[in-house]
């Protein structure tokens, strides 16, 4: 029995969210207020992203949900399960198969396409919040494009740590106008925000804000001329697939505290292994267990 | 001294039925320091806030000529344009350093902010400028990474002055810059201000109720009472030969101290 509408939200709510999305697309990087609804999950679970996804879904969609790059965390599994139930859409763990990808904290390694939408779960949409707690003030700063506080903060970082220490939620300037928080993605992902063929939508449930990057938007990470932005990551290849171009998570492999670095994007890692790539600590890939390990 | 820097004509600001300042007309010439004196509540801060664009006046005009010779009417400009003009041409020194500094940001960050606000994006250059301004306001270079919280009141005020002047403003508004400081600290700050004003050829409007401050810094003087300018002229002339009864009272009460 289904006593809810397609994709859970009623049509009126979806229309309201779509209007906010259209406005967000029309003004890249601008935070559009919307009337966030109660969802059958806690705020920390990305209710903003869930509502955006619900407003975008059509029956033909194929949905992928990732949490820190992985399809199999509790959060990702339940959101995927939720939409499979309330919208009856196809789901996938493969980036290339998905038409909508809801994400928390990562951008997939596999380049996105024009026929894809990336939906971000956003905890705190206001990039100036930690510098200026008053909403009236941050609104004024956005309206006047007075963003000097962001650079003051970067200055303080360099003065204190010798470099810009911020490694997540690294602020960006959109089309030379609005400063935007890209959500807590690692700064390694920042270069993928700009000039991206896919539509990128950001939803913050608790804070009731939606913002967007239309395809092929100019996105610049804030920096100084003599301390240019660097999309850094651990300086080694993935232990499983050998990739040296992907963002890595450090995982502890046994009780003795042995550690290895593996792709945070589980789909990317799996596809590479399926294609025969091997890292130094790779077990033989399940599909071709006979393959030789590299020396 | 061919064209005025700042001109006001009948500048008036009311708070409801109460007068803030009324009918203030004066001309400030490039390189000139204008003092505004008067008792508490006479409208000095109100006038200064109107001049600096922090308060919208109810009547009257302000004309400002920028470094490119272009004339602006701040009252008719958009807020964004007015703030840009202020950023590029003016500086404001508050009586309380807390109002003019970011207390949680290092001294270097405080001095660097106006530079960054105008698009400076070279960390090394910003830091160099901050160091050289610290030196100029007699704060040790090695305090550059300390927050103003860790500074004495006099140091905080000197830091505020460095932050105000780092962008080479043409016009500086100061509201009781030496207020709230010990007498000996005041004297040192006054010395410093006088040196800076002279060396940089600054134009300034300084509000104070301390006649010693205007004696030392101001070329000309306006005396305010109840929101009106009751007397104005060359500083020495006004102080040595006051014409208005109120000014006479003001001068004599200081002399009695
Ligand atoms: N925000 C306000 N609302 C209402 N009245 C105000 C406000 N600010 C100032 N006033 C009034 O306007 C008049 C001028 O005040 P102003 O602060 O300009 O005086 P001042 O000369 O700077 O005094 P002080 O030497 O004490 O700083 C006073 O009567 C004051 O009470
Ligand atoms: Mg005052
Ligand atoms: Zn991998």
CATH number of residue B196's parent domain: 3.40.50.300
Q: For chain A, give the number of residues.
A: 295
Residues 6+ positions from B257 with CB-CB distance below 8 Å: none
Res A71 pLDDT > 50: yes
Residue B129 placed within a domain:
no
CA-B49 nearest atom, ligand 1: 18
Please report which confidence band the pLDDT of residue A43 belongs to, taking 50, 70 and 90 as the band edges. Answer: confident
Q: Which residues contact A186 (CB under 8 A, 6 or more apart)?
A: A105, A106, A167, A168, A233, A247
Picking from A128, A156, A177 by the largest number of B CB atoms within 10 A of its own CB, the best residue to mutate is: A156
Asked whether residue B179 is domain-assigned, the answer is yes
pLDDT digit string, tens, across residues A108-146:
999 999 999 999 999 999 999 988 889 999 999 999 999
**Which residue range forms the structural domain that includes residue B62?**
6-101+174-252
Nearest to B137 by CA among B87, B100, B191: B191
Q: B-chain residues within 8 Å CB-CB of A151?
A: 116, 121
Q: Tell me how many domains chain B contains.
A: 1
- ipTM value: 0.92
Identify whether B155 is part of a domain.
Answer: no
What is the widest separation between alpha-carbon atoms in chain B? 56
Q: Is B132 contained in some domain? A: no
Scan residues 81-110 of B and list those with Cβ closer than 8 Å to A. 83, 102, 105-106, 108-109
Q: How far is A155 from chain B (nearest CA, A)?
A: 7
Q: In chain A, pLDDT over 90 holds for what percent of residues?
A: 84
Burial of B143 (0-12, 13-18, 19+ CB in 10 A): middle
A43: tokens are 């705020």
Q: Please indicate, yes or no, if residue B65 is contained in any of the structural domains.
A: yes
CA distance readout (Å), B117 to A31, A160, B38, B88, B99: 23, 21, 35, 10, 18
- CA dist B126 and B124 (Å) reads 5
* A269 among known catalytic residues: yes
B123 within 8 A of A227, measured Cβ to Cβ: yes
Q: In B84-199, which ranges are E strands?
A: 90-93, 171-175
For β-strands A90-91 and A178-180, DSSP reports them as unpaired
- Which residue has its alpha carbon closest to ligand 1 atom 2? B15
pLDDT of residue A28: 98
Query: What per-residue confidence (pLDDT) applies to A2?
Result: 55
Structural domain includes residue B59 = yes
A196 is catalytic: no
Q: How confident is the model at residue A284 (pLDDT cuts 50, 70, 90)?
A: low
CA of B239 to the centre of ligand 2 (A): 21
A162 touches chain B (CB under 8 A): no
Catalytic position from the list A46, A238, A242, A279: A238
d(CA A28, CA B111): 32
Nearest CA, atom 17, ligand 1: B45
Residue B243 Cα distances to B22, B44, B168, angstroms: 20, 20, 37
Q: Which residues are CB-contacts of A270 (< 8 A; sequence separation ≥ 6)? A: none
Handedness of CA B106, B112, B117, B119 (dihedral sign): negative
Residue B41 pLDDT > 80: yes
What's the confidence (pLDDT) of residue A234? 83
How many angstroms separate the CA atoms of A164 and A166, rounded? Answer: 6
CA B13 to chain centre: 19
- With a Cβ cut-off of 6 Å, ligand 1 is lined by B 15, 18, 20, 38, 40-46, 209
pLDDT tens by residue, A218-274: 999 999 999 999 998 888 999 999 999 999 999 988 888 889 999 999 999 999 999
CB contact (8 A) between residue B116 and residue A151: yes
Which of A155, A160, A227 comes nearest B112 by C-beta? Answer: A155
Interface of B with A in 194-253 (CB under 8 A): none
What is the value of pTM for the model shown? 0.90
* SS3 assignment, position B72: strand
Among candidate residues A46, A69, A205, A241, the one labeled active-site is A241
B179-211 as b/e: b if 16+ CB within 10 A: bebeeebbeebbebbeebbeebebbbbbbbbbb
DSSP SS3 for A61? coil
The answer on pLDDT for A78 being more than 80 is yes
Taking an 8 Å cut-off on Cβ atoms, the answer to whether A151 and B106 are in contact is no
pLDDT class for A293, splitting at 50, 70, 90?
A: very low
Question: For residues B228 and B22, is the Cβ–Cβ distance under 8 A?
Answer: yes
Whole-angstrom Cα distance, residue A245 to residue A222?
22
CA of B175 to the centre of ligand 2 (A): 7
Cα(A280) to centroid of ligand 2, in Å? 72
Query: By CA distance, what is A226's nearest residue in B?
Result: B122
Q: For residue B11, give both structure tokens.
A: 């500048």
B165 domain residue, yes or no? no
pLDDT of residue A156: 96
Residue B190 lies in a domain: yes
Chain A residues lying within 8 Å of B121, measured CB to CB: 151, 223-225
Using CB atoms and an 8 Å cut-off, which of residues 95-154 of chain A contact chain B? 144-146, 148, 151-152
Beta-carbon separation of B122 and A148 below 8 A = no
């Amino acid at each position: 029995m289904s006593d809810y509408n397609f994709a859970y939200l009623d049509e009126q709510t979806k229309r309201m969210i779509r209007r906010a999305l259209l406005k967000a697309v029309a003004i890249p990087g601008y935070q559009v207020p919307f009337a966030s609804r109660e969802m059958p999950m806690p705020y920390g679970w990305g209710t903003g992203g869930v509502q955006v996804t619900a407003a975008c879904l059509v029956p033909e969609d194929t949905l992928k949900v990732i949490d820190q790059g992985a399809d199999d965390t509790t959060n990702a599994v339940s959101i995927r399960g939720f939409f499979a139930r309330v919208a009856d859409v196809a789901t996938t763990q493969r980036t290339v198969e998905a038409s909508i990808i809801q994400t928390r904290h990562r951008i997939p390694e596999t380049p996105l396409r024009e026929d894809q939408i990336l939906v971000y779960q956003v905890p705190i949409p206001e990039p100036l919040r930690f510098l200026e707690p008053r909403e009236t003030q941050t609104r004024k700063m956005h309206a006047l494009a007075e963003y000097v506080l962001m650079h003051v903060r970067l200055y303080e970082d360099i003065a204190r740590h010798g470099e810009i220490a911020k490694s997540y939620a690294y602020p960006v300037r959109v089309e030379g106008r609005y400063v935007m928080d890209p959500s807590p993605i690692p700064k390694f992902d920042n270069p993928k925000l700009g000039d991206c063929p896919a539509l990128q939508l950001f939803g913050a449930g608790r804070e009731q804000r939606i913002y967007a990057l239309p395809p092929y938007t100019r996105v610049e990470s804030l920096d100084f001329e003599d301390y240019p932005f660097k999309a850094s990551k651990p300086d080694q290849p993935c232990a499983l697939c050998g990739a040296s171009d992907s963002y890595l998570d450090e995982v502890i492999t046994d009780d003795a505290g042995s550690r290895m670095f593996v792709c945070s994007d589980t789909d990317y890692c799996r596809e590479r292994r399926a294609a025969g790539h091997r890292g130094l600590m790779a077990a033989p890939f399940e599909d071709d267990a006979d393959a030789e390990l590299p020396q | 001294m061919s064209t005025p820097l700042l001109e006001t004509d009948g500048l008036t600001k009311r708070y409801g039925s109460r007068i803030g300042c009324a009918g203030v007309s004066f001309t400030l010439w490039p390189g000139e320091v204008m003092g505004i004196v008067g008792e508490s509540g006479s409208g000095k801060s109100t006038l200064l806030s109107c001049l600096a664009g922090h308060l919208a006046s109810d009547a009257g005009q302000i004309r400002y000529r920028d470094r490119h010779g272009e004339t602006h009417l701040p009252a008719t400009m958009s807020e964004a344009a007015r703030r840009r003009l202020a950023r590029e041409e003016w500086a404001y020194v508050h009586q309380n350093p807390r109002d003019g500094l970011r207390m949680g940001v290092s001294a270097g960050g405080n001095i660097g902010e106006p530079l960054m606000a105008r698009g400076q994006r070279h960390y090394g250059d910003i830091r160099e400028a901050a160091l050289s301004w610290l030196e100029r306001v007699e704060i040790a270079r090695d305090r550059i990474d300390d927050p103003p919280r860790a500074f004495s009141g006099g140091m905080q005020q000197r830091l505020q002055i460095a932050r105000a002047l780092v962008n080479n403003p043409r016009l500086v508004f100061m509201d009781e810059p030496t207020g709230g400081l010990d007498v000996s600290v005041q004297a040192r700050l006054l010395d410093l201000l006088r040196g800076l004003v002279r060396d940089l050829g600054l134009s300034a409007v300084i509000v104070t109720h301390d006649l010693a401050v205007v004696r030392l810094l101001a070329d000309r003087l306006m005396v305010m009472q109840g929101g009106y300018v009751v007397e104005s002229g060359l500083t020495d002339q006004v102080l040595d030969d006051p014409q208005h009864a109120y000014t006479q009272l003001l001068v004599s009460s200081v002399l009695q101290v």
